[in-house]
Amino acid sequence: MTYRPFRLINLKIIGFCLILIIFAIFGYSRIYNFSLGPRIYIDYPKDKEIVDDSLIEITGRVERIARMSLNNRKIYANQDNEFSELLLLKPGYNILRMRAIDAFGRKIEERLVIFYKEDSQKLQPRPTIKDLEEVKGGLDIEENTKKIENDDEN
C-alpha cells in the first residue's frame, strides 16, 4: 500500500473543481445569450415623432439576429450590428414595422408611428407655360429647340 500525501489529493480535487467551475460559467454565458433571443434597438426616429422631411434615415442596432426586415423589405446590419436604412414617408401617419429573426427561429417585432408633416413652403405648384411666358417675356419653343440641337452638334 502506497501512501499519498493529503496535500496532493486536495490539490487535484481543487484543480478539478476549478476547471469544472470555469466550464460551467462558460456554458452558462453561452446558454444565457441564446436564451435572450433577438433584440432591436431603434435610435432614430423615436416612436410618435413628427418629422418635416419625407426622406428619413432609420438607424439603430440589433443583437443576436439571423435576418431582419423593415416593412417587409430585407435589410442588413454591418459588422458592429448597426443598421441604417433610408425610407420615403407619405404625408400623415406612417407605420414602420421592423422584424428580426434569430438562428433558432425566434421572432421579435418593433413598431413605430411616424408623422410626416409637409412644409407648406415646399409645396409650391409647378410652373406652367403661362408662368414661364410671364417671367421670360415670352417663350419661344422653336428658338430653344434650335439651341439644343446646335449644342448637341458641337
User: Would you list the domain boundaries of the chain?
Assistant: 1-36, 37-116
User: In the structure grid, which three cell numbers stand for residue 110, read together?
Assistant: 418593433
CATH of 37-116 given 2.60.40.10, 3.30.70.60, 1.10.10.1100, 2.60.120.260: 2.60.40.10
Left if phi > 0, otherwise alpha if psi is -120 to 50, otherwise beta: which for 73? beta
SS3 70: strand
For the entire predicted model, the pTM comes to 0.59
- Each residue's pLDDT tens digit in the chain (154 positions)? 455 566 667 788 888 889 999 988 888 877 776 778 899 999 999 999 999 999 999 999 999 999 999 999 999 999 999 999 999 999 999 999 999 999 888 999 999 999 999 876 555 666 566 665 655 544 455 665 566 566 656 5
